[in-house]
Structure 1
Amino acid sequence: MDLQKRYEELKRQNFPDSDRIKFIADLGASGEIEYHYKLICKDRDEGTNLNLSSSFYKHDKEGLEFLFEVLDNEKEECMKVFAAYLIAETLSKLRHRDFYALFCSRLIPIMTSLIESKDALLRQKIIIALGWIGSLDEIDILTKQMLEDKDSFCRAWSASSLMQMSFHGVDKELLQEKTKPCFASAIAAETDLYACGIMIEAAQVLFGKKWISSSAVEDVDAEKIEKARKSAARFLNK
């Protein structure tokens, strides 16, 4: 059965997990790059959250070239962000490939221009993606968003992305050195308790501390967040 027929059959059955996972793997292993991308777009538009993009990296360099072509021809800002995010997600799984650095250097200038978007949801996607593929050069962009963005989620995800960079090839000691005063300022100034909790959690991972639990952040436990804020401030201002 070809992929299109299989998709229609899965849709009719309301996408049972085991069949969906097999279908996603087969999509990535196929040469149907354009069809795969169309299904990812359809999934986004219909809000079905099928995780179809998870195997796009299997298209390797060809898949990335296809996405850059989409990006080059796209005029609509939200679709440009969508394509850039998918390229970053794909690249984050192809770090070992010899073309990784070249594609990152092509994508990052596009992403840094898109971060100026007036749409907070689009900025959030770009901020998250920078955490996957950003280098030391992008630290200043993320610290600026963490300190100055008007959207609390953008500020929170900027902190998370700075922490993510330490898992994705950016020198941890340099990252700590460059971000320590910024985390101190951002955590002290943050008025949104959830964003503050996320910042503290990101900083504690980056600096190897234990100031707050994930559950306290998720529950927006004001008392625990404020206590952690004081502990974080003492360390970060040293």
Structure 2
Amino acid sequence: MSNETEDFEQTYETLEKENFPDGKRIRFIAELGASSDIEGHFRLICRTWKEEKNLRLESSFDRHGEEGLRFLLERLKKTEISDALLQREEASEELREAVFTAYLLAEILSQGRHREYFSSYCEELLPFLLRFSETEEDFLREKCLIALGWVAGEREIPFLTGKMLEDRDAFCRAWAASSLMQMSFHRVNGAILQEETKKDFAKAIEEEKNLQACGIMIEAAQTLFSKKWLSASALEAEDEAQIEKARRSAVRFLLK
């Protein structure tokens, strides 16, 4: 362990005793991002994940540049997630860390999507996200589906439409829909997405029983197809009348 890592861990311990005051926490996050100790930074991030502390230490990991991306990818490649771990209803610590790592890598790639290395890293990350998306743990599956919206390509459209239509969890279905929309801002031409998902969006929106999930699907579809069926305030308030009205309008358009 480097001296810098030891210093960071000591600082973390001190801040923990002080209940992580915002000003000091923000300065600490900046120091971590400016450091050359990528492994030490990541170790502390993993600690917050394990302890379920939302300190956002990962928010400066992008400062490590491509070296940081490579570190995260190599970390994933060294992780062994068996089928048995994916099939457990309660996720293991190993799977949880792997999913959070993949999500972090996807999030950083999304922020740098205009960089020349964006597509190549996306292609290396995709197999991990697709595999982890089969976990039985709904929350981790949601994170994978959200991350796919940032890095997936045209060939992943059927996978996400399948999740939108058939996943057992309402919010996984909703985030799959949202990710299809997000793809239009990243790696897939919007016109292609419109053509390949129009009927699937119609079916998903028409059949969705969960009101909030239906609203998220409508919001995704209206962004992708440049329509305005549902206001953000109606979705946030889960206004049943407005969501049902938007559902009818969306389905009518999407089935044309």
Question: Paired residue for 1:90?
Answer: 108
Counterparts of 1:39 and 1:231, CA distance in 2: 48
**Partners of 2:146 and 2:175 within 8 A in 1:** yes
Counterparts of 1:80 and 1:153, CA distance in 2: 21
Counterparts of 2:96 and 2:11, CA distance in 1: 29
Report the Cα offset of residue 203 of structure 1. 0.8
- Structure 2 residue 159 is the aligned partner of structure 1 residue 141: yes
Matches within 5 A, 1:41-190: 41-75=46-80, 76-190=94-208
Counterparts of 2:145 and 2:104, CA distance in 1: 13
Report the Cα offset of residue 192 of structure 1. 0.8
Q: TM-score, normalised by structure 1?
A: 0.93
Deviates more, 1:150-159 or 1:172-181: 172-181
Deviates more, 1:92-101 or 1:176-185: 92-101
Counterparts of 2:22 and 2:189, CA distance in 1: 38
- Structure 2 residue 17 is the aligned partner of structure 1 residue 18: no
> 1:22-74 CA distances to partner (integer Å, 9 max, x unpaired)?
22122111111111111111112222211111111111222122212221222
The percentage of counterpart residues that share the same residue type is 55
Q: Give the aligned CA root-mean-square deviation in angstroms.
A: 1.7
Counterparts of 2:63 and 2:155, CA distance in 1: 28
Counterparts of 1:33 and 1:217, CA distance in 2: 40
Report the Cα offset of residue 7 of structure 1. 2.5
Deviates more, 1:36-45 or 1:14-23: 14-23
Counterparts of 2:63 and 2:9, CA distance in 1: 19
Q: Structure 1 stretches of 5 or more lacking a match?
A: none
**Partners of 2:103 and 2:143 within 8 A in 1:** yes
SS in 2 for 1:98: coil
Picking from 214, 221, 225, the partner of 2:239 is 221
Deviates more, 1:12-21 or 1:29-38: 12-21
Question: Paired residue for 1:209?
Answer: 227
Counterparts of 2:53 and 2:130, CA distance in 1: 29
Name the count of aligned residue pairs.
238
**Partners of 2:46 and 2:97 within 8 A in 1:** no
Counterparts of 1:12 and 1:94, CA distance in 2: 35
